[in-house]
Copies of this chain bind each other. A is one copy, B any other.
């Protein structure tokens, strides 16, 4: 006999292009069970729970639920609120009050920590709690990758390919492209897949896993510029010096006390101008890289739906205090399956880019990373034309 009661789902942290796909997966699966009497969504994450600000998701049309998968942002609203003190007990008492028997929290590192703490108390009240992974940063551990990452990586790869064609055709600047990633370089590394030939850009990639050294950077840029005119450099927003201090900062911190980086590319571009006397400019798509439905990966979307659906299946089968994890079964054709991992092993552990993917000089990404990343994109990447360039004979 399954426990009768309501489902509550909340979204936490930064949106991804597929966070709503997981919501769709949860809703489509939850509707299958008669003992699930209501399906509610908390508005703006745990803040909505504390305010008892819930919407009745059973009232949404089937069409709306399908279209969630093609909707940017977090459809329920999200937050970066860190629960403290008796917040956890309050959350539990609200879950009980609303007869919530199945609680799903869809988020990244910080959200999995919140989810773990709620789950620990919830177990005393027979409330099942499952974490649904989500982060473009790809820094959750115990999963091959995180829903959201592949779409953001696809944005990075195609944008970098397009940008390099532009720079190559008007090679008057060193161009520095800043990509998201405070502590993990997974997304900046994806730019390496934009490289078609050895001499093509991006020529240099710097990730937060390698302490940033200004002199080496300037030396690298100068050396590149001697070989090619249009130099393309990719940097993670979270580059830090050898003491762990951000090399450029916005001066603000988020709700979890993490320093928010800001303007690394512009800072480095200014350095290139001032110290090397070479023209330079910077691009920083920033949030555009985590909300692009246009660049959504079909594999990512399908997995995100499956992760949501698997979370519900697991909870109704009595599982709790677990996060859904993706295991890669094969690369060609790409196949994955869903499993469960303990929330307490995931919470607050950041999985950074393994050293094996970073080149020895710390300014580029190894070819092996392509094998990890490319199958997740699912869709074919563009293959941009280069003219044959048959040179006209000179007239004498």
Q: Which residue numbers of A lie inside 8 Å of B, CB to CB?
A: 11, 13-15, 38, 40-41, 43, 52-57, 59-61, 64, 67-68, 70-80, 97-98, 158-159, 161-163, 165-172, 175, 250-252, 254-255, 260, 262-263, 266, 269-270, 273, 279-288, 290-295, 382, 384-392, 394-395
Contact = CB atoms under 8 A, between A and B. Distances in A.
A283 B291 contact: no
A287 B175 contact: yes
A171 B281 CA distance: 30
Contacts of A162: 72-73, 288, 291-294
A147 B286 CA distance: 27
Contact of A392 (B55, B260, B288, B388): B55
B292 A286 contact: no
20 contacts: A15-B166, A55-B387, A56-B390, A61-B388, A72-B162, A73-B165, A73-B167, A74-B166, A75-B386, A76-B387, A77-B169, A158-B294, A162-B288, A162-B293, A163-B287, A251-B273, A252-B279, A282-B286, A284-B285, A288-B288
A15 B169 contact: yes
B387 A60 contact: yes
In order of increasing CB-CB distance, the 10 nearest A-B pairs are A73-B165, A283-B286, A73-B169, A166-B291, A59-B390, A54-B392, A74-B169, A72-B165, A162-B291, A72-B162
Given A55-B387, A283-B286, 6 more contacts: A15-B170, A73-B169, A73-B170, A76-B387, A250-B269, A294-B295
A15 B169 CA distance: 8
B250 A281 contact: yes
Nearest to A81: B172
A250 B282 CA distance: 10
Given A71-B165, A390-B56, A14 B170 contact: yes
Contacts of A159: 288, 292
Contacts of A171: 77
B395 A55 contact: no
A42 to B, nearest CB: 10
Contacts of A70: 382, 384-385
A172 B97 contact: no
B170 A74 contact: yes
Given A283-B288, A288-B283, A384 B72 contact: yes
B73 A168 contact: yes
A254 B280 CA distance: 11
Given A75-B387, A165-B73, A387-B75, A284 B287 contact: no
Given A168-B73, A169-B75, A251-B273, A387 B64 contact: yes
Contacts of A75: 169, 385-387
Nearest to A295: B294
